[in-house]
Amino acid sequence: MQKQPDKITVQGTLEKALEKLNIYSEVLHAGRTDRGVHALNQVISFKTPSFWNKEKLLKELNKILHPNIHIKKIYNVNDNFNPRFDAKKRSYRYILNPDFTPFNADYTTYYPNKTDLKLIKRALKLLEGQHDFEYFAKTGSNVNNYIRTIYKTNAYTYKNLTIIKIEGNGFLRGQIRIIVDFILKINESQLSIEDLKKQLSKEKLISKHLAPPNGLYLERIWY
């Protein structure tokens, strides 16, 4: 998501599209996604001259951004609105696919192992509530504290896919991907529920690997 020098990013692409319409504004976003991660409902904000009609702006921007980015709606908001800091909660989904094809390789994570939904749900349930997630954050995360609240978790199947959902008040860098990797190691009996309890209580750092980015989606943000 975040703009980087000499690299194609969502923020950078959006700002270039705005410039083509003579709108020169920094694009603020609700959350940074890693390379390869997707967003179904990312929220951004930018400033426009007052003469722009929302419907016309939406149409013109989507012409420029097609096919990689699509803007669903444009709203008028207060000048002090911040899509990141005004967010109340967010949800992510992670999609596991037992069948590999090149056509969905960028949009799901290939996972041929059988999934034990009962076990996965039990492990996810332990993460609910307020915890210090320092051992579930990327090394070098620049934050004031690692305390976050997870409101709800779930795992279910849809057709041939297994979907893991996590909803919380905010997430640390890499947190979802580290959690998913840990949960899948429990599913494969490489790690245990007790290992998860130890890492969650910061008794012991056991595993901090990242699940692949391509199965992860920023799903929804509440304000």
Report the catalytic residues: 34
SS3 readout for 114-135? CCCHHHHHHHHHCCCEEEECHH
Maximum separation of any 2 CA atoms in the chain, in Å: 60
DSSP codes of every residue in 149-215: EEEEEEEEEETTEEEEEEEES---TTHHHHHHHHHHHHHTTSS-HHHHHHHHTTS-----PPPPGGG
CA nearest neighbour of 12 among 29, 90, 30, 56 = 29
CB of 32 within 8 A of CB of 213?
no
